[in-house]
Amino acid sequence: MRVARTVSVLALLGLAGCSLAPRLELPVVSPAPSYKGAADWNLASPADHGPRGEWWTAFDDPVLDDLMRRLDRASPTVAAAVARFEQAQAASEAAAGARSPVGSASASLTRRRASAAGDDSGGDESGVAVLGGLLRYELDLWGRLRNEAAARDAESAASAADLANTRLSLQAALADTYLRLRGLDAEAALIDEAVCAYERAHQLTVTRQESGAASGLETGRSEVQLTRARALRHSLQRRRAQLENQVATLVGETPTTFTLPLNRTLPTTPEAPPSLPSELLERRPDVAAAARRVAAANARIGVARAAYFPSLSIETSVGVQSVSRHLASSPASVWALGPLAVVAPLVDGGRRQAQLRQSRGLHAEASAKYRETALTAFREVEDALAARQRLSEEADELQLAAAAATRTQALALSAYRDGASDYLEVVTAQTAALEAQRAELATLTARLQSFVALVRALGGGTGSGGRSLLGAPDDPEAGCPPLQAGCQPAT
């Protein structure tokens, strides 16, 4: 008899370790050995090269460093993402608690009086006081509770990756906006120099007209050139104010009281953080979040499959009872083991079958989204690498063009002073020089922005050991308990 009981207990324990979730398999996305746009890129371990930790410090800009700290401290978008993560953590803890025994306590007091006509007690009053406790435990025979907890754990891990992705996206947006503002400051300095040069040229035409060496047409042309440059300066001021307001919103501050100091020099473009395609799926928080949602959907299939099988729970209760007002002095112990409840599903109108189909559909959707996210990640890296390479070449060419246009402008003005040409050639040379210089500045700013885009595409900076510094584990499946196959059900 004891042997039979032992075998029964061991069988129940074995079933309690069973899982009906299928084996977890992520969609295959095969990375290339190297990026297409990285022909001249010295690939190396992320632990050894590139910016570490706070990647924006590669710009060596104290103002940007301070803005990043304010972003993390006061951004409402970050605060909302943190709140979502805390909700997911709480749901995970609640699912884990469902696998533990549930205990409760109860107390009751009953007063009774029988009619004197219908009871030999002659209408005496009596009372019973009861104090007890109940312990209930569901045996997780088919892994329903375990898979539900695994799904919640995976969703919590996905929420952590979402938080990391939100932080990275906001950091990249802040850096990009700030660099555009710095580019406008540098362009404003260029326009100020042009305005000064145009004022001197205009004064020259006025002097020549007064002496009879020039016509009013030349003076009018120089005045148009000057006023257009002044109008352009106002346009830059308007655009700078708008970018400044964007920065204020990103860091969670009121635009009315927020200002950024002028800085009319562009920072040097940092070296690109090296990485390999094989590392991308481990570093990008959005890819990690998508992978964890595949794991969560996979576990939910196990939950839906377990609904086809009986659930088994056992209860035990202990307590004391006594005549009213004498519970402490004359108690009588009461205990019970059971009932051993088995609830087997029979007819549900196709609800379980529909739920299983739904869980499989959700898994297919999560798998497709994972593959889409991974492919998007590779595309964004290739786009950023291509932009970095082409912008570098473009900047070199525009630097030569700006230098040539500046020389031409000086020659045209000198020829006009000597009376060898009219002012139309000066205007043409001035316009070409200013456009070339502005184009060069715009390209240099775009190169700085391309660094931000590349860091964003690669999943952020790296720290010692090549770990991502985004707050999410490197392994896209980290934080997800292994979901075991086995105990295959009848379909």
Residue 330 has a pLDDT of: 53
C-beta neighbour count of 14 within 10 angstroms: 11
C-beta neighbour count of 328 within 10 angstroms: 10
pTM (2 d.p.): 0.76
Nearest to 280 by CA among 69, 476, 56, 8: 476
Beta-carbon contacts of 64 under 8 Å, excluding residues fewer than 6 positions away, are 56, 174, 175, 178
Nearest to 303 by CA among 360, 369, 350: 360
DSSP codes of every residue in 71-123: HHHH-HHHHHHHHHHHHHHHHHHHHHHTTS-EEEEEEEEEEEE--TTT-TT-S
C-beta neighbour count of 379 within 10 angstroms: 11
Residue 53 has a pLDDT of: 55
Assign 342 to helix, strand or coil. Answer: strand
The H or E element spanning position 316 is: strand 311-323
229: left (phi over 0), alpha (psi -120 to 50) or beta: alpha
**Amino acid identity for residue 163 in this structure:** L
263-298: burial string, b at 16+ Cβ within 10 Å, e else: eeebbebbebbbbbbebbbbbbbbbbbbbbbbbbbb
Residue 69 has a pLDDT of: 94
Look at the alpha carbons of 223, 227, 228, 230 in this order and tell me if their dihedral is positive or negative: positive
Residue 19 has a pLDDT of: 65
Nearest to 155 by CA among 95, 99, 80: 95
Q: Where are the domains of the chain?
A: 37-92+142-307+365-466
Half-sphere exposure of 48 (CA within 13 A, CB side): 5
Report residues of the chain scoring pLDDT below 70. Answer: 1-21, 25-53, 98-99, 108-109, 111-130, 132, 272-278, 317-343, 461-491
Q: State the Cα–Cα distance between residues 47 and 69, nearest whole angstrom.
A: 24
Scanning the structure block, which residue is given the tokens 């978008």? 77
Q: 37-92+142-307+365-466 in CATH: which number?
A: 1.20.1600.10
Beta-carbon contacts of 414 under 8 Å, excluding residues fewer than 6 positions away, are none
Beta-carbon contacts of 314 under 8 Å, excluding residues fewer than 6 positions away, are 136, 137, 139, 337, 338, 339, 340, 341
How buried is residue 151: exposed, middle or buried, by Cβ count under 10 Å (0-12/13-18/19+)?
buried
Half-sphere exposure of 462 (CA within 13 A, CB side): 23
Nearest to 267 by CA among 449, 397, 409: 449
Q: State the Cα–Cα distance between residues 414 and 422, nearest whole angstrom.
A: 11
CA distances 52 to 48, 78, 266, 283, Å, are 9, 22, 22, 14
Residue 40 has a pLDDT of: 42
**Amino acid identity for residue 334 in this structure:** V
Phi (first) and psi of residue 229, to 5 degrees? -65, -40
